[in-house]
Amino acid sequence: MQRASKLRRRRLLAVVGGSLAVTAGCLGSDDDEDDNNNDDTDDTDDTDDTDDTNDTDDTNDNSSDNSSDDGNSSDEDYEIKHYRDTEIPLLPLEDAYEWHQNDSARFVDARSPEQYDLLRIEGAVSSPAPDGLASDDPVAEWSSDQTMVIYCECKDMVESANRAVALINEGYENVYVLAPGEDSSGFTRWVEHDYPLAGSLTEDE
C-alpha cells in the first residue's frame, strides 16, 4: 500500500512538473514580478535616505493588524508578501491542511481551468488569475469575510498573488496565499505530502 502511494505521488508530481514547464501564467508573468522585485531592491538600497525600507521588502516577518474571527490564526502569525502595493499573508502548508480538514477556509485555484480539471486540491474552486472566470465565478458569491486560500503551481506565487491582490482590492478581508517551499510551489508541496486531491488524474486510479 505504501509503495502504491509513493508511485501515485510520483506520477502526480510528474504531471504537475510537466504542467508547470508550459504554464504561461507563471513564465509569462515573471517580468511583472521581476519589475516589482527590482523596484523593491532599488528602494532598499536607499535605506540611508528613507525610513520606508520595511514597506518595500517583498516578504518580511512584520505582522499585520488584521485578524480572523473564524477561529483561524490571525495574519500576525504569518509571513507577509508585499506584492503590487498589497500585503498578502502566506499560509504555511501545515496550517492550510488543518484548515482544509476543519473546513475553516475555502480553497481557490488560480491556475487555468484546464489545469484545475486535471488536478486540484479537493474542494477547491476554479477562479483563474488575475480576475477570475469571465462569468459565474464562484468566488463572486462568497461574503467579504470568507476566509480563502489561493494557490497555483508557480514557486514565485505569480498567479496566486495576482488573484489575491484582485480579491483584496474587491474588498475580501481574509485572503491568504499558500506558501511555497524553497524549491517548489505550495501546490506541489501539497501533492508531495499526499494531501487530498481531486481531478481527472485521480479518477483514473
**Cα angle vertex 17, ends 131, 27, to 5°?**
45
The span from the first CA to the last CA of the chain, in angstroms, equals 13
Contact 159, 31 (CB under 8 A): no
Rounded to an integer, what distance in angstroms lies between the CA atom of residue 85 and that of residue 93? 25
CA-to-CA separations, 75 to 30, 41, 63, 115, in angstroms, rounded: 26, 25, 7, 29
**Beta-carbon neighbour count of residue 122 at 10 Å?**
13
For residue 96 the three cell numbers come to 492550510
pLDDT digits (tens, 9 = 90+) for 137-177: 999 999 999 999 999 999 999 999 999 999 999 999 999 99
For residue 24 the three cell numbers come to 504561461
**Coil, strand or helix: which one is 162?**
helix
What angle do helix axes 30-45 and 158-169 make, rounded to 10 degrees? Answer: 80
pLDDT digits (tens, 9 = 90+) for 57-98: 444 444 444 444 555 655 568 999 999 999 999 999 999 999
Is the per-residue pLDDT at 26 higher than 90?
A: no
Number of structural domains the chain divides into: 1
The residue type found at 30 is D
Domain at 70, CATH number: 3.40.250.10
Rounded to an integer, what distance in angstroms lies between the CA atom of residue 11 and that of residue 8? 5
Average per-residue pLDDT for the chain: 79
**Prior bond of 196 cis (ω within 30°):** no
Is the entire prediction scored with pTM above 0.75? Answer: no
Amino acid 55: pLDDT: 44
For residue 121 the three cell numbers come to 486540491
Q: Which residue in this structure is represented by grid cell 525610513?
A: 51
Contact 109, 151 (CB under 8 A): yes
Determine the average pLDDT of the residues in 8-29: 56
The boundaries of the domain holding residue 148 are: 2-203
Determine the average pLDDT of the residues in 15-39: 48
pLDDT above 70: percentage of residues in the chain = 62
For residue 22 the three cell numbers come to 508550459
Determine the average pLDDT of the residues in 120-146: 97
